[in-house]
Structure 1
Amino acid sequence: MDFIFMLTRQDRTVEDCLALAEEIRPLGLRHVGFKDVGVEPAILAKLTQRLKADGATVYLEVVSTTPEACLASARNAVSLGIDCLLGGTDVEAIMAIIAPSGMAYYPFPGRPHGHPTRLDGTPDLVATHCAGFVARGCAGADLLAYRATEADPLALITAARQGLGANGRLIVAGNVDSAARIRDIAAAGADAFTVGTAAFNGGYAPTMGSLLSQLRAIEADCRAVAQGTPQRAGGRR
């Protein structure tokens, strides 16, 4: 399972993202992303170049709240040279924008709303949406499972996995803030997860202080789940 570190806090890209890209370089993270709000496109362009130079797969998650803004973010993702675009719900329009770039697209299933984003919708709806994504050529889905307002998060993950089938990649985004949640989402069928705020505010590993320590703890728990080994003793359960 892949860990995607988001250079974001409270659903916004952090203003010092360029400096933080340098700070995390020693970790050699393979998957790094950010949101389409918080800093100017020129900064995101520099950030994308820096992350790609370090060999990372770069993700942009759309949290814009209007259809027009979402499409503008998709166009910006193409100009930035992003590898994977996350979020949005207007699948056909976004796919038409990004198709020439070869970018992988992971829409939001369910009914996302607000900022920070919440997720309405039942497991049946999520499964239906995910099946539709695959049929339209999407790479998978970006599921805000732990932002759900009316369904059990793990039930949504299981439903999304069923809808995507064997080939669609399932990313769980938002509030993955403990080793137990990493374990649970892996068991339910997730292929990847994002962490941003929980690393920045020290909430993932409360006994550790620095951002690098938080990220090392997340990576260790991710490896432990993948290897089926006992989880780190110091992490929050």
Structure 2
Amino acid sequence: MDFIFMLTRDDRTVTDCLHVLDSVRGLGITHIGFKDVGVDPATLARLHEQIKELGATSHLEVVSTGREQALDSVRAAADLGVDWLMGGVWIEETLGLLDGTPVRYLPFAGEPQGHPTRLAGTPARIAEDCRRAEAAGCAGVDLLAHRATEADPLDLVRAARAATAGRLVVAGSLSSPEQIHALDAAGADAFTVGSAAFAGAVRPEAGSLAAQLTALVEASGGPR
């Protein structure tokens, strides 16, 4: 599985993201993401530039659950030229804004609510959303499985995997290698971790961010 390190805490890009990025060079992290809130546009542009200079794949995840703000995030992703855009539920409008760009899109499956975001939706609803996204031309889905309010997280992952051949990224509220191994067994292609790494929750006995990220890289099966 791919580990996507999110330079975010509480659904916002950390203000010292450029320093953090510089500090994690050499840890084998090949997928790096951020949100378009928390820092100014100039910092985001520099951040994305540095991610690509590292040779990593870039990801921007939509935070807003409001249509206009979410579409503003899509425009930001297109302007930056990120590799992957994750989140949002306005599939047709998003694909229209991304038309002609190389940005690949993974909408949310289910119904994201609030901030920090929670996920409403049964396995049947998740499967239906996955099929709809694939039929529309999306590259897969972004699933907030561990923020689910109506179902077991792994039931949602298995339902999504059965419904789509596209990329399945599980995002949000992951903090242990055991959770990551379970996601792998359930069929996820990638997972994101941000806040848990910054809080030291992945490897509580170790204090440094580098130790947290190293544990996540190891749990994912190593760099790829």
- Size of the aligned set, in residue pairs, is 223
Backbone CA RMSD of aligned residues: 1.1
Partner secondary structure for residue 95 of structure 1 = helix
Q: Which has the higher contact order (CA 8 A, sep 6+)?
A: 2
Partner secondary structure for residue 221 of structure 2 = helix
Give deviations 1:111-130, integer Å, cap 9, x for gaps: 00111000001000000000
The one-letter code of the counterpart of 1:203 is: A
Whole-Å Cα distance in 2 between the matches of residues 222 and 28 of structure 1?
11
The one-letter code of the counterpart of 1:25 is: R
Partner secondary structure for residue 142 of structure 2 = strand
Shift in Å at residue 37 of structure 1? 1.2
Whole-Å Cα distance in 1 between the matches of residues 180 and 204 of structure 2?
16
Is 1:205 aligned with 2:200? no
- The answer (yes or no) to whether the contact 1:75–1:97 under 8 Å persists in 2 is yes
Whole-Å Cα distance in 2 between the matches of residues 179 and 65 of structure 1?
29
Give deviations 1:188-234, integer Å, cap 9, x for gaps: 1100000001100000100111001110011112217x9xxxxxxxx
Whole-Å Cα distance in 2 between the matches of residues 99 and 151 of structure 1?
34
Task: Tell me the equivalent position of 1:193.
Answer: 191
Give deviations 1:85-138, integer Å, cap 9, x for gaps: 000000000000012112110000000011100000100000000011111111
Task: Tell me the equivalent position of 1:89.
Answer: 89
Partner secondary structure for residue 50 of structure 1 = helix
Whole-Å Cα distance in 1 between the matches of residues 77 and 220 of structure 2?
28
Shift in Å at residue 27 of structure 1? 1.5
Shift in Å at residue 145 of structure 1? 0.2
Shift in Å at residue 28 of structure 1? 3.6
The one-letter code of the counterpart of 1:87 is: G
Q: Percent identity?
A: 54
The one-letter code of the counterpart of 1:191 is: D
Shift in Å at residue 36 of structure 1? 1.9
Task: Tell me the equivalent position of 2:172.
Answer: 174
The one-letter code of the counterpart of 1:6 is: M
TM-score of the aligned structures, taking structure 2 as reference length: 0.97
Task: Tell me the equivalent position of 1:134.
Answer: 134
- The answer (yes or no) to whether the contact 1:146–1:176 under 8 Å persists in 2 is yes
Task: Tell me the equivalent position of 2:109.
Answer: 109
Whole-Å Cα distance in 2 between the matches of residues 206 and 174 of structure 1?
18
Shift in Å at residue 140 of structure 1? 0.5
Partner secondary structure for residue 100 of structure 2 = helix
- The answer (yes or no) to whether the contact 1:161–1:190 under 8 Å persists in 2 is yes
- The answer (yes or no) to whether the contact 1:28–1:54 under 8 Å persists in 2 is no
Runs of 4+, deviation exceeding 6 Å: none
The one-letter code of the counterpart of 2:99 is: A
- The answer (yes or no) to whether the contact 2:7–2:34 under 8 Å persists in 1 is yes
- The answer (yes or no) to whether the contact 1:37–1:64 under 8 Å persists in 2 is no
Structure 1 unaligned blocks of 5 or more = 227-237
- The answer (yes or no) to whether the contact 1:59–1:84 under 8 Å persists in 2 is yes
Structure 2 unaligned blocks of 5 or more = none
